[in-house]
Structure 1
Amino acid sequence: MKINMPPYVTFILDRLEKGGFQAYIVGGSIRDILLDKEPNDFDITTNAMPDYIEKIFEDKKTINVGREFGTIKVIVDDKEVEVTTFRKEGNYSDGRRPEWIEFVSDIEDDLARRDFTINAMAYNKKTGIVDPFNGKKDLENKIIRSVGNPIERFKEDYLRILRAVRFSTSLDFEIEDETFKAGKKYSSNISKVSVERITEEFFKIILSPKPSKGINYMKELDLLDIVLPEIVPAIGFNQQNPHHDKDVYNHILCVVDSAPPILKIRLAALFHDMGKPHTLSVDEKGIGHFYGHDKIGSEIAKKALKRMKAPGKLTEQVAILIREHMTHHAKFKEKGLKRLIRRVGIENIYDLFELQKADRKCSNKNASIEHILDMEKKVDNILEKKEVYEINQLNIDGEDLIEIGFKEGKIIGDILEYLLEKVMENPSINKREELEKLALKKYATKPYI
C-alpha cells in the first residue's frame, strides 16, 4: 500500500534514509490517512540519535524540544515536524514525562510503547505499513484497543484512559472490552495526572461530533467524579416540568450535541443547566421551577473552568452565555435587545442565539425556535443600521461634558448612561448638540456643575 505524503515529509524521510537510517511516519497521521482524513500534522520516528538528526539537518532550522527524550523538531518549508528516536519508556509518574527512556533500534519496540493499536502503525515507501498490533484491523472494525496489556499501558500513563474516551468519541468507535475494564479499574488514578493534560483531552471530547458519547463513556468509567463532578447531581434529576421531556443530565447532553462545535458554546451548553438541581421548587400543581438556575449555573461554570485552568477570557465568555441563556423567554423590544447586545458583547451575541436554539430544540419535541430566529433578525437589523448600544458609540464623551461645565467624577459616567438610554430609545438624537441639551436639562444643577 502506498501512502501519499506532503513533500516536506518526504524530504525528511529521504534525507534520513540517505544518511543510512530507518525513518517512518508514525501514529496519528497514518490513522487519519487510512480513515481518509487530512492529518493535522506528521510525526517521524527514526533509529538516528538526536545528535545525528541535528547533524543531518544542519542546513535546516532545528529545535531541541526534548533531546533527552529523543525529540528534535525539524523545520522544512515553514512546516514543523517532530523527529523522535526509536525508544522505550517508563511510567509518566509526574503526569507529563516518562520516568526513563531507552533508545532502541527496532521500530516494533518503539510501536510497543504507544497507547492504542490504531496509533501504533508506522510507514515508509520502502517497507510499507508496519502494523505489529493489527491497528489497521481495529480501524476497520472501529475499535479502540490498548497496545498489549491495557493495565500496563494505563499504569504507564493514566491519561490514556481519558484518551481512549476521546478517540472513541471523535472517531465514533467503541472501546474494546478488556481495555474498558482496565480503564474502569484504574480510572480513579487519573487524579494523579496534571490538570492541564486532562483539560486538553476533555476539551477535545467536547468539540467532537457527538460529545454525549464521550460524556456517557466517562460516566461508565467512573471518570465524571474526577473530571466533571458538577454534572453528577444532574444525572437522573427529574425536572417535573411539562415543557421538558428529559432529565437534566440527558437534556444537557442533547444541548451539547446540538450546539455548533465552538468551544465556548459547547462549554456553555455543558454547564447551562447545572444550576437546576440546586434551585428546584415545586408549585401547588406539582410543576417544577428553577428560578435563578442561570445565575447559579454561571457561577458553577466559572469555578469548574478555573479548576480546569481554562483561559480567563474563555471562562468569562462561557459565564456570560450561561447567565443570559434564559433571555429568549423575554419579549424584547428594540431597546431591550440593544441592552442585551451590550451585556453579552457583540462577540458573543450570535453564540448566545446558537446556545438558545440548541437548548430549545432539546426541551421537547414540539418546541419552536421561531422567536429566537426573530430576535436574531432584529439584532441583524440593529447592527446593520449601526444603531447605538454602547457608550463609546455616542457622539459625545466625558471630555465634552467637562467642557460644557460638568465636574469630573462619577457624575460623568451617570450622564453618559442616561444619554445612552435616550439614544437607544431614539437613535435620531445621537448628535452632540442634542445630547448636550439633554445632559444640561437633567443635570445642570449643583453639585454637578
Structure 2
Amino acid sequence: MRVENLPDEFITALPILTTITNAGYEAYFVGGSVRDTLLGKPIHDVDIATSAYPAEIKALFKKTVDTGIEHGTVMILDHGEGYETTTFRTESGYTDFRRPDEVTFVRDLSEDLKRRDFTINALAMRGNGEIVDLFAGLTDLQQGILRAVGDPKERFHEDALRMMRAVRFSAQLGFTIEANTQQAIKSEAHLLAKIAVERTNVEFSKLLLGKDAQRGLLEFAETGLYQYVPGVISEHELDIIAAATALENVRLTSDEQAWTFVVSQLGLDEAATMAFLKAWKHSNDLIKTVTNANRFIRTYKAQAVVTNWDLYSVGADLSIALSVLQITQVDFPVDQLQQAYAALPIKDKHELAISGQDLIKRGVVKPGPMMGKVLAQLEQGVVAGEMVNEPAALLAQAAKII
C-alpha cells in the first residue's frame, strides 16, 4: 500500500530521510503519525527510525541534540523543526516493567518493529509513501482491532503501561481489543501497580477524552485494570460513569471537565474529591478547579436552585460545572444560570469599592481579625444585592457592622 498524498508534516521531513538514505542507510517514518495518516487524522510529531547508529546520524547533520542517545534517539534540527530519529534496536530485561535494562542497536527494521506495542503502531512508511507492514497492522487498522505485536504477555511485561494504552486507544479510536490481547491484560493487570501514578493518569485522562469513552471505560473495568489505580473505583461505579458518557451529545473536552465529571458521578464530597485527585497525582491547579466546580454541582443537585453567593463562589469554573450538569440533568437551565452569573454585582473580592486600607484610613476599624470579618460581610452583602458597591455606602455599612 502507498499513501499518495503525504501530509505536509512528512513532506517537510523528507529531506531528513533523503539525507540518511543517500548515505546508504535505511530510514522510515514510524509510529503514531503513520497510523493517524492512514486513519485520516491530523498528525503531530513525526518520528523517524533508521539503520544508522547515533554517531552516524550526528555525522550527517550539522545540528543535533542528544535527547536519548543511550536509547538511540537523536533530535535533528532542521529549519526550525526538530525530528526525533531513533536507531533500530532490540531491548531486553525490564526489571521495572517500564524501561529496558539493555538496548542493542541493530540494522534490521523487522527487529525494531517487533518490539513495538500494537500492530497498528508497528507500521513504517518510506519517503515515497509506501507502507511496510510486517505484522498485519493494516488489516487490524481497517477492521478496527487493537492487537499486541507477538506475544501480548511479553509486550506487557516489557512495559506494563501498554495495558493502559490499550484501553486508551480503544476509547480514542473506537477499536475492539483483540481476544488474546484482552486476556493478557486481564492476567497481567496487577503489573499496573508498578507504574508511576502520573503515567497512568495521563493515559486515563486521554481515555476520558476519547470519542468512545464508554468503550474504553468498559474495557478498563472488564480487564480488571481499575483495581490497580489510585482512589478505589468499583466496577459498578465505572459502569455508571461509562453509561453517562454514552448519553447523546456527550463528549468530554478537557481534563478539568473530565475529572469533574468523574468525581460528580462518584458522588464525592469536597474532602473526598481532594483526596481522590491527590491520589491520582493531579496538579494543585486542577484539584482546585475540579473541587470548586464539583462543590457547585453538589449544591445545585441538593437544592435545584442556587444563590448569588453560590455563583460568585464557583466563579470562572462555572462553565465547567454547567457543562457537567448538562450531561445528566434534563431541561437544565444553563442559559438562566449564565445570565445570573453575568449579572452579579462583582465577580471577585478585589472588585469591592473599598479595601481594608480604606477602612483603616477612615478610622472605621483597626488592623486585625475584625477587619477581615467586616470585609467579608461587605462582600457577601454586595454579592447578594443587599448593599450598593459604592465607597460611601460601604463605609456606612462597615460602621454599622462595627
1:354 matches 2:323: yes
1:378 matches 2:336: no
Residue 360 of structure 2 is aligned with which of 387, 397, 402? 402
Shift of 1:252: 2.5
Structure 1: distance between partners of 2:154 and 2:78: 37
Q: Which residue of 1 aligns with 2:40?
A: 36
Map 1:184-263 to 2 at 5 A.
Answer: 184-227=186-229, 230-232=232-234, 235=236, 249-257=238-246, 258=250, 260-263=252-255
Q: Work out whether residues 274 and 300 of structure 1, in 8 Å CA contact, stay in contact via their aligned partners in 2.
A: no
Structure 2: distance between partners of 1:373 and 1:211: 27
Q: Which residue of 2 aligns with 1:150?
A: 152
Q: Work out whether residues 43 and 83 of structure 1, in 8 Å CA contact, stay in contact via their aligned partners in 2.
A: yes
Greater displacement, 46-55 / 73-82: 73-82
Q: Work out whether residues 89 and 101 of structure 1, in 8 Å CA contact, stay in contact via their aligned partners in 2.
A: yes
Letter of the structure 1 residue corresponding to residue 380 of structure 2:
E
Q: Work out whether residues 209 and 261 of structure 1, in 8 Å CA contact, stay in contact via their aligned partners in 2.
A: no
SS at match of 1:324: helix
Letter of the structure 2 residue corresponding to residue 319 of structure 1:
T
Structure 2: distance between partners of 1:39 and 1:410: 57
Shift of 1:132: 0.5
Q: Which residue of 2 aligns with 1:343?
A: 313
Q: Which residue of 2 aligns with 1:418?
A: 377
Structure 1: distance between partners of 2:50 and 2:368: 68
What TM-score does the superposition give when structure 1 sets the normalisation length? 0.82
Structure 2: distance between partners of 1:157 and 1:331: 47
1:326 matches 2:326: no
Structure 1: distance between partners of 2:238 and 2:331: 21
Q: Work out whether residues 92 and 99 of structure 1, in 8 Å CA contact, stay in contact via their aligned partners in 2.
A: yes
1:368 matches 2:340: no
Q: Which residue of 2 aligns with 1:313?
A: 285
SS at match of 2:232: helix
1:14 matches 2:18: yes
Inter-CA distance 153–375: structure 2 relative to 1 (3 Å threshold):
same
Shift of 1:127: 7.8
User: Residues 414-442 of structure 1: CA distance to partner in whole angstroms, max 9, x if unpaired?
Assistant: 11112223322448822212222221233
**CA RMSD, Structure 1 to Structure 2 (Å):** 2.1
Shift of 1:401: 0.8
Q: Which residue of 1 aligns with 2:114?
A: 112
User: Residues 81-135 of structure 1: CA distance to partner in whole angstroms, max 9, x if unpaired?
Assistant: 2110000112432244211111110111111110110000111135821110010
Q: Which residue of 2 aligns with 1:300?
A: 272
Q: Which residue of 2 aligns with 1:69?
A: 71
Shift of 1:175: 0.7
Structure 1: distance between partners of 2:190 and 2:305: 48
User: Residues 332-356 of structure 1: CA distance to partner in whole angstroms, max 9, x if unpaired?
Assistant: 57xx22x12332232x111111111
Inter-CA distance 127–430: structure 2 relative to 1 (3 Å threshold):
closer
Map 1:71-110 to 2 at 5 A.
Answer: 71-110=73-112
Q: Which runs of 5+ in 1 are unaligned?
A: 236-247, 276-293, 361-366, 444-449
Shift of 1:256: 4.2
Structure 1: distance between partners of 2:69 and 2:185: 31
Residue 397 of structure 2 is aligned with which of 434, 438, 444? 438
Q: Work out whether residues 231 and 279 of structure 2, in 8 Å CA contact, stay in contact via their aligned partners in 1.
A: no
Letter of the structure 2 residue corresponding to residue 379 of structure 1:
Y
Letter of the structure 1 residue corresponding to residue 356 of structure 2:
G
User: Residues 358-401 of structure 1: CA distance to partner in whole angstroms, max 9, x if unpaired?
Assistant: 131xxxxxx322x343212322344xxxx214321011111111
SS at match of 2:265: coil
User: Residues 227-286 of structure 1: CA distance to partner in whole angstroms, max 9, x if unpaired?
Assistant: 255320x71xxxxxxxxxxxx5544323345353211111111121324xxxxxxxxxxx
Sequence identity percentage: 32
Q: Which residue of 2 aligns with 1:287?
A: none
Q: Work out whether residues 381 and 387 of structure 2, in 8 Å CA contact, stay in contact via their aligned partners in 1.
A: no
1:274 matches 2:262: no
SS at match of 1:429: coil
Residue 349 of structure 2 is aligned with which of 383, 386, 391? 391
Structure 1: distance between partners of 2:322 and 2:133: 47
Q: Work out whether residues 133 and 147 of structure 1, in 8 Å CA contact, stay in contact via their aligned partners in 2.
A: yes
How many residue pairs end up in the alignment? 393
Inter-CA distance 345–96: structure 2 relative to 1 (3 Å threshold):
farther
Structure 1: distance between partners of 2:40 and 2:151: 29
Greater displacement, 22-31 / 158-167: 158-167
Structure 2: distance between partners of 1:91 and 1:157: 11
User: Residues 6-48 of structure 1: CA distance to partner in whole angstroms, max 9, x if unpaired?
Assistant: 2431122122222322111001111000000111211100111
Structure 1: distance between partners of 2:191 and 2:290: 29
Letter of the structure 1 residue corresponding to residue 335 of structure 2:
L
SS at match of 1:186: helix
Structure 2: distance between partners of 1:440 and 1:414: 13
Letter of the structure 2 residue corresponding to residue 422 of structure 1:
G
Deviation beyond 4 Å, 4+ runs, structure 1: none
Inter-CA distance 259–376: structure 2 relative to 1 (3 Å threshold):
farther
Q: Work out whether residues 51 and 108 of structure 2, in 8 Å CA contact, stay in contact via their aligned partners in 1.
A: yes
